[in-house]
Amino acid sequence: MNQQTVTITDNRTGKTMNCPIKTGTEGASVIDGQALYKELGLFTLDPAFLTTASCESKITFIDGEKGILLYRGYPIEQLAEHSSYPEVCYLLLYGELPTSDQMEDFKHTVCQHTLLHEGLVNFYKGFRHDAHPMAMLVGVVGALSGYYPDAMDISNPEHCNKSAIRLIAKMPTIAANIHKYLIGQAYVYPRNDISYVSNFMQMMFAVPSETYQFNEIANRALEVMLILHADHEQNASTSTVRLAGSSQAHPFSCVAGGIATLWGPAHGGANEAVIRLLQEIKTPKNIPEYIRRFKDKNDPMKLMGFGHRVYKNYDPRAKIIRKICHNLLQELGTQDQPLFEVALELEKIALSDDYFIERKLYPNVDFYSGLILKALGIPLNMFTVIFAVARSVGWIAQWMEMTEDANLKIGRPRQLYIGNKRRDYVPVAKR
Ligand code: CMC
């Protein structure tokens, strides 16, 4: 069969070129425009990547129109129901679900790397007592690269795998230590005899003077949250990790860049912003006034947890989270039911409002996730840190995939220059 192409004609010169169309296993095909500059002397302009695929990937697939999310082909709904976070980590990293032996080996290997170098633990003391946990996370994960100069060769798969394992193992310890540091409690060291999620919980909430009581319902809720946030193809933070990684920098410093990107309210910071918004709205009777503000172009306020660059339908993760949230609040009997009621009513009103309908704005993963984290006793400013713990496997899996590309080149976008043309320097006395 002939190669399918798109013909581009430069109307200024009449020159044409045929760009190949590449088709993947699912989703939209792409125009391969890599030869565009060579053939026509043109770049494409797409600052927010609205129509630009930045790489080929086998890891995660999203159909934003239909609300589908697959990790390595497996639907997120099935993984959320049947899988565990470590199993999802294995799947994302190595492409297949593990056998039970492979799973045991993987869990054992991860357990061997949960401790932090004590030098890194001391590093925490340099932060202010009121530092934002995400500021600390960016710093500590960046600093982690200083402790592992032995795994710098990105062309060596063993080095890459070691970095992946270290990151997945240490992220809960790093995150829990941030929480403990900020509330002035003793760090709780990791336990290798319990599950990944139970260990994370006990590092977050145990105190040396008492025996920690595990709660299976809470553990499962956190496990599902980690699964749902584990990867999301080429989002802003993952693209940051890949771009930084394309220069062959240390993987942990690349991940620190991803964490910095995740922090913003347009990305992972939205889970924290949603709760602040729900607390501000307070009661369903105030919703209409807020809806008016969300729609007002002169008012910067947005309905946090709504809208998505890719999903023009209900985010499949939000559907799962909404259900868990409902069950969790009932099971734990927390004080958060009124906030959940506000969220449900807000969703209902927004989904029947023309502004949101026309723009295809639906709840995203962050709309209900904050309520779950709050019910688990996690403080608001730690929400995005939990997201980062979950997403670390996605970042490192995408980074590993990139390092395996035999044609890896440094990422280097071009620009449309709109500044001054060449001009001569004017001595200060003549300005
Ligand atoms: N509230 C009110 N209006 C909105 C919202 C919202 N949450 N989201 C989008 N719009 C409007 C936007 O003003 C624009 O209107 P118009 O066409 O009249 O100019 C239209 O909808 C299209 O929005 P956009 O800003 O062009 O869409 P985008 O793809 O650039 O941005 C987004 C996507 C997620 C940044 C945005 O929807 C948003 O800021 N949402 C709130 C923050 C949020 O929940 N972020 C979490 C995203 S999911 C998790 C993650 O990525 O980590």
Q: What is the mean pLDDT of residues 234-253?
A: 97
Atom of ligand 1 nearest to the CA of 262: 52
Q: Is 353 a catalytic residue?
A: no
The reported pLDDT for the residue numbered 1 is 59
Q: What is the mean pLDDT of residues 203-225?
A: 96
* Ligand 1 in reach of 269 Cβ (< 6 A): no
The reported pLDDT for the residue numbered 152 is 80
* Ligand 1 in reach of 267 Cβ (< 6 A): yes
The reported pLDDT for the residue numbered 71 is 98
The reported pLDDT for the residue numbered 2 is 72
Q: What is the mean pLDDT of residues 226-242?
A: 98
Q: Are 400 and 164 in contact (CB under 8 A)?
A: yes
* Ligand 1 in reach of 317 Cβ (< 6 A): no
The reported pLDDT for the residue numbered 336 is 81
Residue to mutate, 278, 309, 358, ligand 1, most ligand atoms under 8 Å from C-beta: 309
Predicted model pTM:
0.95
* Ligand 1 in reach of 312 Cβ (< 6 A): no
The reported pLDDT for the residue numbered 319 is 93
* Ligand 1 in reach of 266 Cβ (< 6 A): yes
The reported pLDDT for the residue numbered 409 is 95
- Distance separating alpha carbons of residues 167 and 153, to the nearest angstrom: 16
Residue nearest to atom 9 of ligand 1 (CA): 307
Q: What is the mean pLDDT of residues 253-277?
A: 95
In which band, very low, low, confident or very high, does the pLDDT at 64 lie, cut at 50, 70 and 90? very high
* Ligand 1 in reach of 235 Cβ (< 6 A): yes
Q: What percent of the chain has pLDDT over 70?
A: 100
CA atoms within 13 A on the CB side of 45: 5
pLDDT in tens, 129-142: 999 999 999 999 99
- Distance separating alpha carbons of residues 204 and 220, to the nearest angstrom: 16
Chain mean pLDDT for the chain: 96
Helix, strand, coil shares of the chain, percent, nearest 5, are 55, 5, 40
* Ligand 1 in reach of 366 Cβ (< 6 A): yes
Atom of ligand 1 nearest to the CA of 387: 52
Q: Are 246 and 411 in contact (CB under 8 A)?
A: yes
* Ligand 1 in reach of 360 Cβ (< 6 A): no
Number of other CB atoms surrounding residue 166 within 10 Å: 21
- Among 132, 308, 315, 336, the active-site one is 308
pLDDT in tens, 159-187: 999 999 999 999 999 999 999 999 999 99
Q: What is the mean pLDDT of residues 391-403?
A: 98
Q: Is 366 a catalytic residue?
A: yes
Give the bridge partners for 325, in sequence order: none
pLDDT in tens, 65-91: 999 999 999 999 999 999 999 999 999
The reported pLDDT for the residue numbered 313 is 92
Residue nearest to atom 45 of ligand 1 (CA): 266
Q: What is the mean pLDDT of residues 50-54?
A: 96
pLDDT in tens, 330-343: 888 777 889 999 99
Question: Which phi and psi angles does 359 have, rounded to 5°?
Answer: -90, 5
Q: What is the mean pLDDT of residues 31-57?
A: 96
At residue 380, does pLDDT exceed 90?
A: yes
pLDDT in tens, 267-317: 999 999 999 999 999 999 999 999 999 999 999 999 999 999 999 999 999
Residue nearest to atom 31 of ligand 1 (CA): 309
Placement of tokens 């670390």 in the chain: 392
Q: Which two tokens stand for residue 362?
A: 């639906």
| Ligand 1: centre distance to CA 308 (Å) | 6
| Ligand 1: centre distance to CA 320 (Å) | 21
Q: Are 371 and 275 in contact (CB under 8 A)?
A: yes
The reported pLDDT for the residue numbered 3 is 86
Quote the distance between the C-alpha of residue 387 and its chain's center: 7
